[in-house]
Amino acid sequence: MPQIEVNGKNYETDEEGYLINLAEWNMDVAKYIATTENLTMTDNHWEVINFLREYYDEYQIAPAVRVLTKAIGKKFGAEKGNSQYLYELFPYGPGKQACKVAGLPKPTGCI
Amino acid sequence: MAAEIKAPAYRQFSIAPAIQPGSMADTKTFVANEKIQEAIGFPPALVDDWHDRAIAKMGELLSKYRSFKVYMDACVHCGACSDKCHYFIGTADPKNMPVARQDLMRSVYRRYFTIPGKLFPKLVGARDLTREVLDEWYNYFHQCSECRRCSVFCPYGIDTAEITMAAREILNSIGYGQKYSNEIIGKVHKIGNNLGLPGPALTDTLEGLEEDVKEATGIDVRFPIDVKGAEVLLITPSADFFAEPHIDSLIGYAKVFHAAGISWTLSSKASEAGNFGMFIGNYQQLREIAMRVREAALDLGVKRVVVGECGHAWRVAYSFWNTLTGVGSGAADPYAMQLQKQLDHRYKQPMHICEVTWDLIERKVIRLDKEANDKHIITYHDSCNVARGSGMGDVFGGQFDIPRNIIRAAANNYVEMAEGTTREQTFCCGGGGGLLTDDLLDLRVKGALPRMEALHNVTETHGVNFMATICAICKAQFTKVLPYYGFDRRTVGGVHQLVSNAIRLGDK
């Protein structure tokens, strides 16, 4: 298993750098994963990441893109409630890249 | 993943590229780990006696599938297929020529299953199955999307897809499976769909869609799930619940059923149309995945089974569901016969959502306002499994004409892409057959080249800004690769996305 090292501690990831153990996630790990994705974390990023983790806690899956945009729009302002905004934050696609930073498993399938 | 992924330059003339031997030799999709393999009953890792077991498996497939044996024997190396594969066109690796891909297996077949190959291997191009050959199989049989375009041009009708399926079946049987496909198959069995979307999340998503549509149209359009006694069971790819632009087509299906007054339901048990059992050439997986549809149809007591916008699912449904599950006629077990009695045979079973919609348009049960799509200048991408593995309607070529008829009924501006890139000669999106995975993105970008060239052409000449299609893989693949070619990712969308924009809901 590949590993990443953050603050002297090792964390297991899969081949693509997704964290294996969801419970090990913390903000430093998220920041580290973000750098590997060439992302600089801002408050806007954290809003999305925190929502993803809350949703995952309840449903054991990341939210659909539409559910995510709607929730972010409701919580943080209508100007943030669209997929273009999320793509600007997570250019590789909010579904996968944001999940990776949030320490969630990668969504699979025809997406 | 490669450091930087770049789209190849458009070719000035659509000619075969100058070959670059070995350019894709190191492109290797992630191998499934032990957990993934074991979850679906395959050996956890490459077995010690892989050589003997692989040859034995090949022998078994040769005796079981007559077509496979014919394909091994019949090729005369005429070269008609050589420049027909999108992966060869995009990568220039000669082993991505269909004939060369077939020969990876044919050379081994000759060595172990033909007398000249057993006696004089060098003279007839026969090779031992070495570890190097096995790795070459793994890499190059995961650079074929099983799109079957090459078979259209083969004078003998050799179907490379079937050879790729056989190769993957052999590889899986010795513990050398692909992560992407096999992980997904595991999720279908465990959770019910490729995404791993559990029932409560699905329900939450559908409720959200009802709110959205109400907000946008003022109409209560329902997205029912697990409703017993509904007339129609809709089987659709789970990406339709999750991804963009897929979800816009799901909204389109719901609006069609609403406007036509047809009661319908989704199923939490069969919340996936896709069937990756076909991609790995494994009959048992193909059947088990398909069987969920029959169970859901029996549980819910529906009269019709309708399939959403999913390319290979429609091939499986159209060509195999009948004998696999008894949706359609052919299977003889008691449950299949029970289902046959239950289904309403005034309708085709199963039916594609495009067949349903087109029939309703023709009978003027639903009405469309074309102006709603005036911002779009639309072209249509035929998805490979629909185009070359299925049919629609009662007329030959219906799978080409019915989706186009719907688009023309829903919009004013429609343009065809160049002949030779559409209908039965359509190019694969570059992500089909189990290759829609991030670790193959470089291959996917390159494989999209011929379709992107054809699209570029109509954007230049006709201002096309929307490419409609009816496959979840095509939608996801294009969303990802369009930007590499300078297009907006939202250039791709579903046929029912256009229907959704145009359909009249209020005045019924």
Closest residue to B195, CB basis, from A83, A96, A108 = A108
- Which of A1, A23, A78, A110 is labelled catalytic? A110
- pLDDT tens readout for residues B394-439: 999 999 999 999 999 999 999 999 999 999 999 999 999 999 999 9
pLDDT at B507: 62
Distance CA A73, CA A96 (A): 19
- Closest residue of B to A111, CA-based? B476
Q: Go through B254-284 and write b for each residue having 16 or more CB atoms within 10 A of its CB, e for each that does not.
A: bbbbbbbebebbbbbbbbbbbbbbbbbbbee
More confident residue, B272 or B334: B272
Q: Tell me what percent of the residues of chain B surpass a pLDDT of 70.
A: 99
A105-109, B271-275, B386-390: least confidently modelled range: A105-109
Q: B389 CA to chain A: closest CA distance, Å? A: 19
3-class secondary structure per residue, A40-100: CCCHHHHHHHHHHHHHHHHHCCCCCHHHHHHHHHHHHCHHHCCHHHHHHHCCCCHHHHHHH
- pLDDT tens readout for residues A34-77: 999 999 999 999 999 999 999 999 999 999 999 999 999 999 99
Res B334 pLDDT > 90 = no
Residue A107 DSSP label: P
A15 CB within 8 Å of a chain B CB? yes
Collapsing DSSP to helix, strand or coil, B64 comes out as helix
**Terminal C-alpha separation, chain A:** 25
Q: CB B239 to CB A111 under 8 A?
A: yes
Residue B272 DSSP label: -
Q: What is the average pLDDT score of chain B? A: 96
- pLDDT tens readout for residues B109-165: 999 999 999 999 999 999 999 999 999 999 999 999 999 999 999 999 999 999 999
Chain B CB contacts of A67 under 8 Å are 204-205, 208
Res B374 pLDDT > 70 = yes
CA B489-B455-B353 angle, 5° bins: 70
pLDDT at B270: 96
Mean pLDDT of B236-253: 97
Mean pLDDT of A7-30: 95
Is A99 a known active-site residue?
Answer: no
Chain A CB contacts of B475 under 8 Å are 110
Res B2 pLDDT > 60 = no
Least Cα distance to B273 among B230, B219, B327 occurs for: B327
Q: How far is CA B11 from the centre of its chain?
A: 27
Q: B431 CA to chain A: closest CA distance, Å? A: 9
Collapsing DSSP to helix, strand or coil, A106 comes out as coil
pLDDT at A23: 93
Strand A9-12 and strand A3-6: the pairing is: antiparallel
Q: Give residues 99 to 118 of B whose Cβ lies within 8 Å of A.
A: none
Instruction: Set out the domains of chain B in order of their start, with CATH numbers.
Output: 34-177 (1.10.1060), 193-356 (no CATH), 367-502 (3.40.50)
Q: CB B242 to CB A65 under 8 A?
A: yes
C-alpha distances out from residue A91 to A37, A85, B378, B403, Å: 10, 10, 26, 32
Q: Show the tokens assigned to A96.
A: 């996968």
Instruction: Set out the domains of chain A in order of their start, with CATH numbers.
Output: 3-36 (3.30.1420), 43-101 (1.10.10.370)
* Phi, psi of B207, deg, nearest 5: -65, -40
B14-28, B93-107, B355-369: least confidently modelled range: B14-28
* Torsion of Cα atoms, B80 then B82 then B87 then B89, to 10°: -100
CA B177-B288-B271 angle, 5° bins: 100
Chain B CB contacts of A72 under 8 Å are none
Distance CA B35, CA B183 (A): 9
Q: CB A64 to CB B242 under 8 A?
A: yes
- Closest residue of B to A95, CA-based? B243
C-alpha distances out from residue B77 to B80, B108, B156, Å: 8, 16, 11
CA B19-B435-B182 angle, 5° bins: 140
Q: CB A108 to CB B179 under 8 A?
A: no
Closest residue to A110, CB basis, from B197, B436, B489 = B436
Distance CA B165, CA B153 (A): 20
CB contacts < 8 A (A, B): 91
- pLDDT tens readout for residues B199-217: 999 999 999 999 999 999 9
Distance CA B170, CA A76 (A): 52
What secondary structure does DSSP assign to B394-443, as a single string? Answer: SSTTHHHHHHHHHHHHH-S-B-PPPTTSSGGGPPP-S--TT--SGGGHHH
- Closest residue of A to B237, CA-based? A110
A21 CB within 8 Å of a chain B CB? no
- pLDDT tens readout for residues B299-317: 999 999 999 999 999 999 9
pLDDT at A86: 94
Res B326 pLDDT > 90 = no
What secondary structure does DSSP assign to B191-231, as a single string? Answer: TSSTT---HHHHHHHHHHHHHHHHHHHSS-----BS-TT-S
E-assigned strand segments in B110-265: 232-235, 264-265
Q: CB B208 to CB A109 under 8 A?
A: no
pLDDT at B244: 93
Mutate: best of B195, B268, B444, B471, partner A, most A CBs <10 A: B195
Let me know: does B387 contact B402? Beta carbons within 8 Å. no
Closest residue to B194, CB basis, from A65, A83, A108 = A108
Chain B CB contacts of A86 under 8 Å are none
B381 CB within 8 Å of a chain A CB? no
Closest residue to A60, CB basis, from B180, B198, B237 = B198
Residue B374 has a CB neighbour count (10 Å cut-off) of 13
* Phi, psi of B264, deg, nearest 5: -145, 165
- What residue has token string 């003279």? B123
